[in-house]
Amino acid sequence: MNSQITTPTVEFVRRFSSTRRGASSARRLAVGQLDAWGVPQGSEYSDTAALIVAELAANAVLHGHVPGHACELRLVLGTVLRIEVTDTRPGRRPLRPEPAGDAESGRGLLLVEALAKAWGVAERPPGKTVWAELGP
């Protein structure tokens, strides 16, 4: 008999428009869903997840926008929280972030890298999924 305790996994998937308004909606949806799962809105964990969703969603609509196609937010909560944002634009994979010096943009993935336990990019035809994981 296996005495290992497993954590139940729950999943949330929603499409959002490939616009700034859609990216903002993705963040609100994530915070609301985490709250429904028992991660209180305004907690450090919820705020960190919201920041990561906001950065990934903003990147998706800015760099992955394909007219007429939506992006997708996927949250999977188990032993870690996995955040995935998918766009439908092929190519244009995000690169590992480099400090941006005096640039006014380009720091979003630096934040994601600093806050997440891990992050990466996976091909998902016709586009790609950028994901990040938060530990407990």
Domain assignment of residue 2, yes or no: no
Domain assignment of residue 63, yes or no: yes
**Residue 51 parent element (H or E):** helix 44-63
Domain assignment of residue 54, yes or no: yes
Digit-coded pLDDT (tens) for 93-104: 665 666 555 555
Digit-coded pLDDT (tens) for 103-134: 555 578 888 999 999 999 998 888 899 999 99
Judged against a pLDDT cut of 90, whether residue 16 lies above it is answered with: yes
For residue 56, give every residue at least 6 positions away whose Cβ sits within 8 Å of its Cβ, in sequence order, or none: 83, 85, 112, 130, 132
Average pLDDT over residues 56-78: 87
Q: Which of 99, 95, 92 has its CA nearest to residue 120?
A: 95
> Which domain does 123 fall in, by range?
10-134
Number of domains the chain is built from: 1
Domain assignment of residue 124, yes or no: yes
Domain assignment of residue 76, yes or no: yes
Say what the pLDDT of residue 123 is. 85
Give the global pTM: 0.85
For residue 122, give every residue at least 6 positions away whose Cβ sits within 8 Å of its Cβ, in sequence order, or none: 128, 129, 131
Say what the pLDDT of residue 5 is. 46
CATH, residue 72 = 3.30.565.10
Instruction: Note whether 87 and 127 are within 8 A (CB).
Output: yes
Instruction: Note whether 71 and 18 are within 8 A (CB).
Output: yes
Domain assignment of residue 3, yes or no: no
Residue 133 Cα to chain centre, angstroms: 9
Domain assignment of residue 4, yes or no: no
Domain assignment of residue 1, yes or no: no
